[in-house]
Amino acid sequence: MSAPQVQTQADRYAVIGNPVAHSKSPFIHARFAAQTGEAVEYDRLLAPLDGFVETVRAFMASGGRGLNVTVPFKLEAYALADTHSARAAAAGAVNTLRFDADGIYGDNTDGVGLVRDIETNLGVTLKGARVLLLGAGGAARGVVLPLLERGPRCLAIVNRTASKAEGLVAQFAAAAYEAGCTLTGGGPDAVDPYPYDVIVNATAGSLDAALPDCDDRAFGAATLAYDMMYAAEPTVFMRHAQSLGARSADGLGMLVEQAAESFYVWRGVRPDGAPVLAELRALLAGLRAAQKA
Protein backbone atom coordinates (compact mmCIF):
# COMPACT_ATOMS: atom_id res chain seq x y z
CA MET A 1 0.00 0.00 0.00
CA SER A 2 1.56 3.30 -1.08
CA ALA A 3 1.94 6.19 1.33
CA PRO A 4 -0.70 8.93 1.01
CA GLN A 5 0.41 11.95 -0.98
CA VAL A 6 0.89 15.17 0.96
CA GLN A 7 -0.81 18.19 -0.57
CA THR A 8 1.63 21.10 -0.72
CA GLN A 9 0.14 24.48 0.09
CA ALA A 10 1.38 27.14 -2.32
CA ASP A 11 3.20 30.11 -0.81
CA ARG A 12 1.73 33.47 -1.78
CA TYR A 13 3.65 36.25 -3.52
CA ALA A 14 2.57 39.28 -5.55
CA VAL A 15 3.67 42.42 -7.35
CA ILE A 16 2.50 45.61 -5.65
CA GLY A 17 2.19 48.94 -7.44
CA ASN A 18 -0.13 51.65 -8.73
CA PRO A 19 -0.91 51.05 -11.55
CA VAL A 20 -0.22 47.32 -11.62
CA ALA A 21 -2.74 45.75 -14.05
CA HIS A 22 -0.19 45.89 -16.89
CA SER A 23 2.50 43.97 -14.98
CA LYS A 24 3.93 40.86 -16.64
CA SER A 25 5.32 39.59 -13.32
CA PRO A 26 2.49 37.06 -12.69
CA PHE A 27 3.16 35.50 -16.11
CA ILE A 28 6.91 35.37 -15.45
CA HIS A 29 6.68 33.89 -11.96
CA ALA A 30 4.08 31.32 -13.01
CA ARG A 31 6.60 30.09 -15.59
CA PHE A 32 9.39 30.07 -12.98
CA ALA A 33 7.24 28.07 -10.56
CA ALA A 34 6.43 25.49 -13.24
CA GLN A 35 10.08 25.30 -14.30
CA THR A 36 11.46 24.78 -10.78
CA GLY A 37 8.61 22.82 -9.22
CA GLU A 38 8.28 25.40 -6.45
CA ALA A 39 4.80 25.72 -4.90
CA VAL A 40 4.21 29.40 -5.61
CA GLU A 41 1.04 31.40 -6.14
CA TYR A 42 1.62 34.90 -7.57
CA ASP A 43 -0.86 37.75 -8.03
CA ARG A 44 -1.11 41.50 -8.66
CA LEU A 45 -1.74 43.79 -5.70
CA LEU A 46 -3.01 47.33 -6.32
CA ALA A 47 -2.15 49.63 -3.42
CA PRO A 48 -3.69 53.09 -2.90
CA LEU A 49 -1.09 55.81 -3.39
CA ASP A 50 -1.40 56.68 0.29
CA GLY A 51 -1.83 53.11 1.52
CA PHE A 52 1.31 51.17 0.63
CA VAL A 53 2.34 50.17 4.17
CA GLU A 54 -1.20 49.16 5.15
CA THR A 55 -1.56 47.04 2.01
CA VAL A 56 1.77 45.30 2.62
CA ARG A 57 0.96 44.54 6.26
CA ALA A 58 -2.46 43.16 5.31
CA PHE A 59 -0.80 40.89 2.74
CA MET A 60 1.68 39.70 5.37
CA ALA A 61 -1.12 39.06 7.88
CA SER A 62 -2.93 36.92 5.32
CA GLY A 63 0.12 34.69 4.96
CA GLY A 64 1.97 36.40 2.10
CA ARG A 65 5.67 35.50 1.88
CA GLY A 66 7.05 38.23 -0.36
CA LEU A 67 6.41 41.07 -2.80
CA ASN A 68 7.88 42.58 -5.90
CA VAL A 69 7.58 46.37 -5.67
CA THR A 70 7.06 48.60 -8.68
CA VAL A 71 6.35 52.30 -9.17
CA PRO A 72 5.77 54.41 -7.22
CA PHE A 73 6.57 52.49 -4.03
CA LYS A 74 10.26 51.52 -4.17
CA LEU A 75 11.34 54.24 -1.74
CA GLU A 76 8.53 53.41 0.68
CA ALA A 77 9.52 49.75 0.48
CA TYR A 78 13.06 50.71 1.43
CA ALA A 79 11.79 52.62 4.47
CA LEU A 80 9.53 49.73 5.50
CA ALA A 81 12.22 47.02 5.41
CA ASP A 82 13.88 46.06 8.71
CA THR A 83 17.10 44.97 6.98
CA HIS A 84 18.57 45.58 3.51
CA SER A 85 20.93 43.87 1.11
CA ALA A 86 24.08 45.77 0.18
CA ARG A 87 22.70 46.45 -3.29
CA ALA A 88 19.43 47.80 -1.86
CA ALA A 89 21.36 50.05 0.50
CA ALA A 90 23.43 51.33 -2.43
CA ALA A 91 20.33 51.95 -4.54
CA GLY A 92 18.37 53.55 -1.71
CA ALA A 93 15.34 51.69 -3.07
CA VAL A 94 13.78 48.24 -2.76
CA ASN A 95 12.00 46.21 -5.44
CA THR A 96 11.87 42.90 -3.54
CA LEU A 97 10.48 42.28 -0.06
CA ARG A 98 10.78 38.98 1.79
CA PHE A 99 8.82 38.24 4.95
CA ASP A 100 10.23 35.72 7.42
CA ALA A 101 10.94 35.17 11.13
CA ASP A 102 13.56 37.93 11.09
CA GLY A 103 11.09 40.55 9.84
CA ILE A 104 10.96 42.36 6.51
CA TYR A 105 14.03 42.00 4.28
CA GLY A 106 14.49 44.46 1.42
CA ASP A 107 16.53 43.79 -1.71
CA ASN A 108 17.01 45.42 -5.10
CA THR A 109 17.41 43.04 -8.02
CA ASP A 110 17.19 45.57 -10.87
CA GLY A 111 20.93 45.94 -11.36
CA VAL A 112 21.56 42.20 -11.28
CA GLY A 113 18.80 41.79 -13.85
CA LEU A 114 20.45 44.34 -16.14
CA VAL A 115 23.90 42.78 -15.83
CA ARG A 116 22.65 39.24 -16.35
CA ASP A 117 20.66 40.25 -19.44
CA ILE A 118 23.65 42.02 -20.96
CA GLU A 119 26.15 39.27 -20.23
CA THR A 120 24.10 36.05 -20.38
CA ASN A 121 21.31 36.78 -22.85
CA LEU A 122 23.06 39.29 -25.10
CA GLY A 123 26.57 37.84 -24.80
CA VAL A 124 28.38 41.11 -24.06
CA THR A 125 31.19 41.02 -21.49
CA LEU A 126 31.26 43.94 -19.06
CA LYS A 127 34.69 43.16 -17.61
CA GLY A 128 37.16 45.60 -19.15
CA ALA A 129 34.43 47.39 -21.10
CA ARG A 130 33.88 51.12 -21.53
CA VAL A 131 30.36 51.78 -20.24
CA LEU A 132 28.21 54.92 -20.50
CA LEU A 133 25.20 55.25 -18.20
CA LEU A 134 22.67 57.89 -19.27
CA GLY A 135 20.61 59.24 -16.39
CA ALA A 136 21.19 59.72 -12.66
CA GLY A 137 17.77 59.06 -11.14
CA GLY A 138 16.55 56.05 -9.20
CA ALA A 139 16.83 53.65 -12.14
CA ALA A 140 20.47 54.61 -12.69
CA ARG A 141 21.37 54.52 -8.99
CA GLY A 142 20.00 50.99 -8.74
CA VAL A 143 22.36 49.59 -11.39
CA VAL A 144 25.67 51.37 -10.65
CA LEU A 145 26.95 48.91 -8.01
CA PRO A 146 26.12 45.73 -9.98
CA LEU A 147 27.77 47.27 -13.06
CA LEU A 148 30.91 48.13 -11.08
CA GLU A 149 31.06 44.63 -9.62
CA ARG A 150 31.50 43.25 -13.16
CA GLY A 151 34.81 45.09 -13.48
CA PRO A 152 34.39 47.50 -16.41
CA ARG A 153 37.46 49.52 -17.39
CA CYS A 154 35.52 52.76 -17.00
CA LEU A 155 32.00 53.87 -16.22
CA ALA A 156 30.78 57.35 -17.15
CA ILE A 157 27.51 58.60 -15.64
CA VAL A 158 25.96 61.42 -17.66
CA ASN A 159 22.86 63.40 -16.79
CA ARG A 160 21.25 66.60 -18.02
CA THR A 161 21.73 67.98 -14.51
CA ALA A 162 25.45 67.38 -14.02
CA SER A 163 25.35 67.66 -10.23
CA LYS A 164 23.16 64.55 -9.97
CA ALA A 165 25.67 62.50 -11.94
CA GLU A 166 28.52 63.91 -9.86
CA GLY A 167 26.63 62.91 -6.72
CA LEU A 168 26.50 59.28 -7.89
CA VAL A 169 30.21 59.39 -8.65
CA ALA A 170 30.89 60.53 -5.07
CA GLN A 171 28.55 57.87 -3.65
CA PHE A 172 30.17 54.99 -5.54
CA ALA A 173 33.80 56.18 -5.56
CA ALA A 174 34.94 53.55 -3.06
CA ALA A 175 33.20 50.72 -4.92
CA ALA A 176 34.77 51.90 -8.19
CA TYR A 177 38.22 51.93 -6.57
CA GLU A 178 37.75 48.36 -5.31
CA ALA A 179 36.64 47.28 -8.78
CA GLY A 180 39.60 48.98 -10.47
CA CYS A 181 37.20 51.03 -12.54
CA THR A 182 37.58 54.66 -13.56
CA LEU A 183 34.29 56.32 -12.54
CA THR A 184 33.41 59.74 -13.96
CA GLY A 185 30.28 61.83 -14.24
CA GLY A 186 28.88 65.11 -15.46
CA GLY A 187 26.56 66.73 -17.97
CA PRO A 188 26.10 65.77 -21.64
CA ASP A 189 29.45 67.35 -22.51
CA ALA A 190 31.13 64.60 -20.43
CA VAL A 191 30.35 62.01 -23.14
CA ASP A 192 33.50 60.93 -24.97
CA PRO A 193 33.30 61.65 -28.73
CA TYR A 194 34.14 58.05 -29.70
CA PRO A 195 32.30 54.74 -29.34
CA TYR A 196 31.63 53.03 -26.02
CA ASP A 197 31.26 49.27 -25.68
CA VAL A 198 27.94 49.57 -23.81
CA ILE A 199 25.53 52.50 -23.48
CA VAL A 200 22.67 52.09 -21.00
CA ASN A 201 19.72 54.46 -21.19
CA ALA A 202 18.39 54.73 -17.63
CA THR A 203 16.34 57.85 -18.32
CA ALA A 204 12.56 57.76 -18.65
CA GLY A 205 12.79 59.50 -22.02
CA SER A 206 11.51 56.55 -24.02
CA LEU A 207 8.15 56.84 -22.25
CA ASP A 208 7.71 60.21 -23.97
CA ALA A 209 9.63 59.33 -27.17
CA ALA A 210 12.41 61.70 -26.06
CA LEU A 211 16.09 61.04 -26.71
CA PRO A 212 18.61 61.60 -23.91
CA ASP A 213 21.35 64.14 -24.61
CA CYS A 214 24.27 62.12 -25.96
CA ASP A 215 26.96 62.75 -28.57
CA ASP A 216 26.20 60.61 -31.64
CA ARG A 217 29.89 59.70 -31.82
CA ALA A 218 29.44 57.59 -28.66
CA PHE A 219 27.63 54.99 -30.82
CA GLY A 220 29.63 52.62 -33.03
CA ALA A 221 29.27 49.33 -34.86
CA ALA A 222 30.53 47.40 -31.80
CA THR A 223 28.36 49.33 -29.31
CA LEU A 224 25.48 47.71 -27.44
CA ALA A 225 22.87 50.43 -26.88
CA TYR A 226 20.59 49.18 -24.10
CA ASP A 227 17.31 50.85 -23.18
CA MET A 228 15.96 49.88 -19.75
CA MET A 229 12.44 50.53 -21.09
CA TYR A 230 10.61 48.09 -23.36
CA ALA A 231 7.57 48.16 -25.60
CA ALA A 232 5.98 46.22 -28.44
CA GLU A 233 7.96 48.38 -30.87
CA PRO A 234 11.64 49.42 -30.58
CA THR A 235 12.01 52.57 -28.48
CA VAL A 236 13.12 55.89 -29.94
CA PHE A 237 16.53 55.38 -28.27
CA MET A 238 16.91 51.97 -29.88
CA ARG A 239 15.95 53.28 -33.31
CA HIS A 240 18.38 56.19 -32.94
CA ALA A 241 21.21 53.83 -31.97
CA GLN A 242 20.45 51.55 -34.92
CA SER A 243 20.53 54.52 -37.29
CA LEU A 244 24.07 55.20 -36.05
CA GLY A 245 25.16 51.61 -36.72
CA ALA A 246 24.97 50.30 -33.16
CA ARG A 247 23.35 47.11 -31.89
CA SER A 248 20.32 47.79 -29.67
CA ALA A 249 18.30 45.98 -27.02
CA ASP A 250 15.37 46.81 -24.79
CA GLY A 251 14.78 46.10 -21.10
CA LEU A 252 12.48 43.08 -21.41
CA GLY A 253 15.34 40.74 -20.57
CA MET A 254 16.17 42.87 -17.54
CA LEU A 255 12.56 42.49 -16.38
CA VAL A 256 12.79 38.71 -16.62
CA GLU A 257 16.23 38.46 -15.02
CA GLN A 258 15.43 40.74 -12.09
CA ALA A 259 12.36 38.57 -11.50
CA ALA A 260 14.57 35.46 -11.55
CA GLU A 261 16.80 37.04 -8.91
CA SER A 262 13.74 37.91 -6.78
CA PHE A 263 12.60 34.29 -7.08
CA TYR A 264 16.03 33.23 -5.83
CA VAL A 265 15.82 35.66 -2.89
CA TRP A 266 12.50 34.11 -1.89
CA ARG A 267 13.01 30.43 -2.71
CA GLY A 268 16.78 29.80 -2.81
CA VAL A 269 16.34 28.47 -6.37
CA ARG A 270 17.42 30.46 -9.42
CA PRO A 271 15.23 29.78 -12.48
CA ASP A 272 16.42 29.98 -16.09
CA GLY A 273 15.21 33.27 -17.55
CA ALA A 274 16.04 32.52 -21.21
CA PRO A 275 12.99 30.38 -22.13
CA VAL A 276 10.63 32.76 -20.33
CA LEU A 277 12.17 35.73 -22.14
CA ALA A 278 11.76 33.92 -25.47
CA GLU A 279 8.09 33.30 -24.70
CA LEU A 280 7.53 36.95 -23.78
CA ARG A 281 9.27 38.07 -26.97
CA ALA A 282 6.93 35.87 -29.00
CA LEU A 283 3.90 37.31 -27.21
CA LEU A 284 5.07 40.86 -27.91
CA ALA A 285 5.69 39.98 -31.55
CA GLY A 286 2.16 38.62 -31.79
CA LEU A 287 0.80 41.80 -30.23
CA ARG A 288 2.77 43.90 -32.69
CA ALA A 289 1.48 41.85 -35.64
CA ALA A 290 -2.10 42.15 -34.38
CA GLN A 291 -1.77 45.92 -34.06
CA LYS A 292 -0.56 46.18 -37.65
CA ALA A 293 -3.26 43.89 -39.04
CA angle 28, 31, 33 (to 5 degrees): 110
Is residue 292 annotated as part of the catalytic site, yes or no? no
**Is residue 258 a known part of a binding site?**
yes
Cβ-contact 108, 85 below 8 angstroms: yes
**Is residue 137 a known part of a binding site?**
yes
Measured in degrees and rounded to the nearest 5, phi and psi for residue 110 equal -60, -50
**Is residue 228 a known part of a binding site?**
yes
**Is residue 136 a known part of a binding site?**
yes
Distance CA 134, CA 255 (A): 19
Q: Using CB atoms within 10 A of its CB, is residue 234 exposed (0-12), middle (13-18) or buried (19+)?
A: middle
**Is residue 95 a known part of a binding site?**
yes
**Is residue 98 a known part of a binding site?**
no
**Is residue 250 a known part of a binding site?**
no
Helix axes 138-149, 162-171, angle to 10 degrees: 40
**Is residue 185 a known part of a binding site?**
no
Residue 206: DSSP 8-state: G
**Is residue 85 a known part of a binding site?**
no
Distance CA 123, CA 129 (A): 13
In 10 A of CB 96, how many CB atoms? 28
**Is residue 135 a known part of a binding site?**
yes
Catalytic residue among 31, 65, 74, 267: 74
**Is residue 273 a known part of a binding site?**
no
**Is residue 86 a known part of a binding site?**
no
For the chain, the helix, strand and coil percentages under 3-state DSSP, each to the nearest 5:
45, 20, 35
171 Cβ contact partners less than 8 Å away, ≥ 6 residues apart:
90, 141, 144
**Is residue 83 a known part of a binding site?**
no
- Cα 41 to chain centroid, rounded: 22
Measured in degrees and rounded to the nearest 5, phi and psi for residue 199 equal -120, 125
**Is residue 206 a known part of a binding site?**
no
Residues in the annotated binding site for shikimate: 23-25, 70, 95, 110, 230, 258
Residues forming the active site = 74
Residues in the annotated binding site for NADP(+): 135-139, 159-164, 228, 251
Residues in the annotated binding site: 23-25, 70, 95, 110, 135-139, 159-164, 228, 230, 251, 258
